[in-house]
A and B are shown apart, each in its own frame.
Chain A
Amino acid sequence: MSFEVLLVQAVVNGLVLGMLYMLMAIGFTMAFGIMRVVNFAHGEFYMIGAFVAFFLVTLWDVPYVLAIAGAGLATAVLGAAVERTVFKPFYGDELNGMIVALGLSVILQNLALIAWGPAPRSFASPFGGVLNVGPLVFPNERLFALGAAVLLVLGFWLLMARTQVGRAMRALAQDKEVALMQGIRANRVYPLAFAMAVGLAAVAGALMAPVFSVSPFAGHTPMLKAFVVVILGGLGSIPGAVVGGLMLGLIESLAGTLLSAMMADILQLALVIGLLLFRPWGLLGQREREG
């Protein structure tokens, strides 16, 4: 394969990865930006979404696309319940909120282990086969994931920018006191925001299930990537999550293809370290000065 072909394949793969990371990061940064929640269990919701999709497809013959929607919805509902019971009591107490999230992560992962065992499972995406564009080869399942993710992010952007709910969320993220004074009902918006955030993670899990397979440990790496993206793009910044996610996906794919998998990992972490040293609030985040 010629170098140009390799490069283009790497770029497209990078975009697919980037979309996945972006979806994870948007949800994670959203929970922080709006509710100041550091959701250490975010990866577990990815995993739950993957499992729900897996069971819907393999046990109940639900069409894949519907299964993705189902996974997203089911997880969103779970998320809303979790937010009201587990996270709400710790608003204003960031430290203990983080520890609670850690506990939740441990519970969810190990419950999945008990219920479904550690062995990875997978199922075939209905979008089998490849797309040939000249010398380039693109697996259809990845193209589908890419397309679905793009639609999702667009829909998300529309919701945040054009709807009342989205405006309410942005208002709360910007200045909670002012937003409350304007009559925004935090008790309605928060569970919705959290549901959306983990719903995105779940959809990412469902989209990547045919590609990466499904196990109780599946959420760990996406969670790690979300952290990295959020540090790159700035904690609380959704544009940052978008840009950071794509950047990370491209860097990982290009480095992995042109150098080695290990170099890809090291490069990403070196990037994070470098950023933390010189620009810790991320590329697009808010600068905060310690007193």
Chain B
Amino acid sequence: MRSLPLPVRYAVLAVAVALLLALPQLLDNAYYVHIANLTLINVILVTGLNVISRTGQLSLCHAAFAGIGGYTSALLALRFGVPPMLSMFIGAAASGLVAFAIGAVILRLRGVFFVLVTFLFGQIFTLLVLNAETLTHGANGLVAIPPIRLGGLSFASKTNFYYFALCAAVLVVYFTWRLLRSPSGRAFACVDENLPLAESSGVDTRRFQILAFVIGSAFAGFGGAIIAHYVRYISPDSFTFWESVAYIVMLVVGGRGSLAGGVVGALFLTPLPEVLRGAQALSHVLYGFILIAVLFVAPLGITELARRLRALSRKAA
């Protein structure tokens, strides 16, 4: 993009925006719009994971934080009639708070330990949700979750929801973009690339590790809440370890080094299980192979690969 002259860039951007806005009409198929919606939700979730990975951490319980947001928001809406437009943000805040509580304790541990504990926390979450039956209805899950409304407008239909999800995803990505370009984003890079040096040159590494973890997990909570009010049914099965792995695959394959990575990953990998609906196990095997292949060939994902190819073509020119 950067190599193109300014008016051309604006034209490309305008076309892209127009396409995005007209997508539901272009697709003209409720099922495809549904896939687009799921993709947008995954963009939010994977972008959250991207933020966490900026300090070199790996969260194996990202889906659990989505679950905290989802259940909190759904329960507030179902039991206390809180409008979903508000309860979504409370759900995100709940995830952020829990992330803060956990992070403050375990981020002082080595990277490996941290990852193990996030895995365990994911299991704890599933266990708690399954067993707190009076609150969460256990394995049966929550049904008839109210859809999101704004004024008289309901975002229940797939097309309406698309526009809501588009706004939400754009906001999340924009916020993350601002965050990563800010001094805090620079501090994230310091912590990721050389933690002892960062600490010894005045960067409060604990603070920034916790910050990244909290923000990323709050995004997950936000995404989980959106899922709850879109699909309008959640259960412990919606937020398992395997969902967390799926988000990791999307991030790694899309690209950890750049913000676009989350978007690319979600774009490529969300439709896959839907397309291979009949052969779910096969699609998972494919996931696994793609993941390992990416780590061997281009550890920083598709976006890195694209950058390398562009650099090569520039050299050849």
User: Which residues in A have some Cβ–Cβ distance to B below 8 Å?
Assistant: 32, 38, 86, 89-90, 94-96, 98-100, 102-107, 109-111, 113-114, 224, 227-228, 230-231, 235, 262, 265-266, 269, 272-273, 276-277, 280, 288, 290-291
Q: What is the CA–CA distance of A109 and B119 in the complex, to the nearest angstrom?
A: 18
What are 16 A-B residue pairs whose CB atoms fall within 8 Å in the complex?
A: A95-B56, A98-B58, A102-B248, A103-B289, A106-B287, A107-B285, A109-B284, A110-B285, A110-B288, A224-B123, A227-B120, A231-B113, A231-B120, A235-B112, A280-B113, A290-B195
B206's nearest neighbour on chain A, judged by CB, is A290
Q: Which of A103, A110, A280 contacts B292 (CB 8 A)?
A: A103
Q: Which of B116, B119, B242, B291 contacts A99 (CB 8 A)?
A: B291
> Max chain B CB contacts within 10 Å: which of A90, A100, A110, A235?
A110
A167 to chain B, nearest CB (A): 25
CB within 8 Å for A110 and B248 given contacts A98-B112, A269-B123, A276-B117? no
B127: A residues at CB distance < 8 A: 265-266, 269
A290: B residues at CB distance < 8 A: 108-110, 195
B182 interfacial contact with A, CB 8 Å = no
B57 to chain A, nearest CB (A): 9
CB within 8 Å for A291 and B288 given contacts A113-B281, A114-B282, A266-B127? no
Q: What is the CA–CA distance of A197 and B299 in the complex, to the nearest angstrom?
A: 27
B245 interfacial contact with A, CB 8 Å = yes
Interface mask (B103-118 → A, CB under 8 Å = 1, otherwise 0) = 0011011111101110
CB within 8 Å for A106 and B117 given contacts A86-B292, A99-B295? no
B80 interfacial contact with A, CB 8 Å = no
Q: Are B110 and A99 in contact (CB under 8 A)?
A: no
Q: Which of A89, A99, A107 contacts B248 (CB 8 A)?
A: A99
A90 to chain B, nearest CB (A): 7
Q: What is the CA–CA distance of A289 and B255 in the complex, to the nearest angstrom?
A: 31
Interface mask (B228-268 → A, CB under 8 Å = 1, otherwise 0) = 00000000000000100100110010000000000000000
Q: Are B111 and A103 in contact (CB under 8 A)?
A: no
Q: Which of B119, B123, B281, B295 contacts A103 (CB 8 A)?
A: B295
Q: Are A99 and B285 in contact (CB under 8 A)?
A: no
CB within 8 Å for A231 and B117 given contacts A95-B58, A103-B295, A110-B282? yes
What DSSP secondary structure best describes chain B's contact surface?
A: helix
B293's nearest neighbour on chain A, judged by CB, is A103
B131 interfacial contact with A, CB 8 Å = yes
Q: What is the CA–CA distance of A105 and B288 in the complex, to the nearest angstrom?
A: 8
Q: What is the CA–CA distance of A231 and B295 in the complex, to the nearest angstrom?
A: 28
A266 to chain B, nearest CB (A): 7
Q: Are B195 and A291 in contact (CB under 8 A)?
A: yes
User: Which residues in B have some Cβ–Cβ distance to A below 8 Å?
Assistant: 56, 58, 105-106, 108-113, 115-117, 119-120, 123-124, 127, 131, 195-196, 199-200, 242, 245, 248-249, 252, 281-282, 284-285, 287-289, 291-292, 295-296, 299
> Max chain A CB contacts within 10 Å: which of B105, B199, B295?
B295
Q: Are B115 and A38 in contact (CB under 8 A)?
A: yes
Q: Are A110 and B284 in contact (CB under 8 A)?
A: yes
Q: What is the CA–CA distance of A272 and B124 in the complex, to the nearest angstrom?
A: 11
Q: Are A262 and B105 in contact (CB under 8 A)?
A: no
B246's nearest neighbour on chain A, judged by CB, is A106
Q: Are B109 and A280 in contact (CB under 8 A)?
A: yes
B109's nearest neighbour on chain A, judged by CB, is A280
CB within 8 Å for A90 and B295 given contacts A107-B288, A107-B289? yes
Considering the complex of A and B, which 5 residue pairs feature the smallest CB-CB distances, nearest first? A107-B288, A106-B288, A103-B291, A110-B284, A113-B281
A277: B residues at CB distance < 8 A: 105
Q: What is the CA–CA distance of A186 and B261 in the complex, to the nearest angstrom?
A: 36
A94: B residues at CB distance < 8 A: 111-112
Q: Are B110 and A106 in contact (CB under 8 A)?
A: no
B101 to chain A, nearest CB (A): 11
